[in-house]
Structure 1
Amino acid sequence: MKIAIYGREFHPSVIPYVRQLLDHLISRQAELWIYDSFHRFLTEQITCPHQFRTYHSREQLPEDTGFMLSLGGDGTMLAAVSIVGPSGIPVAGINFGRLGFLASINKGEIEDALDAILDGAYDIQQRALLSVVAGDTPLFDGNPFALNDITIFKYDSSAMITVQAHLNGELLNAYWADGIIVATPTGSTAYSLSCGGPIIMPGSGNFVITPISPHNLNVRPVVISNDFELDLEIESRTGKFLLSCDSKTETVSTDTRLKIKRAAFDINLIRLKNHSFFATLRNKLLWGIDARNY
Structure 2
Amino acid sequence: MKIAIHGRNFPESARPYIQSMFDELAKRQVEVIISAGYREFLDNASVAHYSQITYTIEEGVLEADFIFSLGGDGTLLDAVTHVGPRQIPIVGINIGRLGFLATVAPNSVRLMIDALYNGQFSIDERTLVGVRSTPDIFGNLPFGLNDFTITRTQTSSMITVHSYLDGEFLNSYWADGIIISTPSGSTGYSLSCGGPVLLPQTNNFIITPISPHNLNVRPMIVMDSCQLAFEVESRSGNFLAALDSRSFTVDTSARISVQKETFVARLVKLSDDNFLNTLRSKLNWGWDIRN
TM-score (norm 2): 0.96
Check 1:110–1:44 CA distance in 2 against 1; reply closer, same or farther (3 A cut).
same
1:267 to 249, 255, 265: 265
Contact 1:242 1:250 in 2 (8 A): yes
Residue 88 (structure 1) shift = 1.6
Q: Provide the rounded CA distance (Å) in 1 between the counterparts of 2:103 and 2:186.
A: 16
Structure 2: which amino acid aligns with 1:183? S
Partner of 1:189 in structure 2?
A: 187
> What does residue 85 of structure 2 align with?
86
1:218-277 deviation digits (Å, cap 9, x = unpaired)? 110000000110010000011000000001111100000110111111111101111111
Q: Distance in 1 between matches of 2:217 and 2:139?
A: 34
Cα distance in structure 2, aligned partners of 1:115 and 1:49? 19
2:24 is equivalent to residue 24 of structure 1: yes
Structure 1: stretches of 5+ with no match in the other structure: none
Which letter does structure 2 place at the counterpart of 1:126? Answer: E
- Match for 1:80: what amino acid? A
Q: Is the 8 A contact 1:58 1:84 kept in 2?
A: no
Residue in 2 aligned with 1:77? 76
1:37 matched residue in structure 2? 37
C-alpha distance in structure 2 between counterparts of 1:169 and 1:180, whole Å:
18
Quote the residue 1:101 is aligned against. 100
CA deviations on 1:120-162 (whole Å, 9 max, x unpaired) are: 1101011110111112x23234101010000000011431000
Aligned pair count?
Answer: 291
Say whether the 8 Å CA contact 1:241–1:254 is kept in structure 2.
yes
Tell me the residue number matched to 2:112: 113
1:226 aligns with 2:234: no
Alpha-carbon distance in structure 2 between the residues aligned to 1:114 and 1:191: 32
State how 1:167-186 maps to structure 2 within 5 Å.
167-186=165-184
**TM value normalised by structure 1:** 0.95
Task: After superposition, give the CA deviation of every residue in 1:68-119 in whole Å (9 maximum; x if it has no partner).
Answer: 0000000000001011000020001100110000001111212112211232
Identity of aligned residues (%): 47
The verdict on how the C-alpha distance between 1:47 and 1:283 changes in structure 2, with shifts beyond 3 A counting, is closer
Question: What is the correspondence of 1:187-266 to structure 2 with a 5 Å cutoff?
Answer: 187-266=185-264
How many Å separate the matches in 2 of 1:62 and 1:26? Answer: 21
3-state DSSP class of the match of 1:255? coil
What are structure 2's unaligned runs of at least 5 residues? none
Which residue does 2:149 correspond to in 1?
151
Looking at structure 2, the residues matched to 172 and 14 of structure 1 have their Cα atoms a distance apart, in angstroms, of 48
Partner-residue secondary structure (3-state), 2:281:
helix
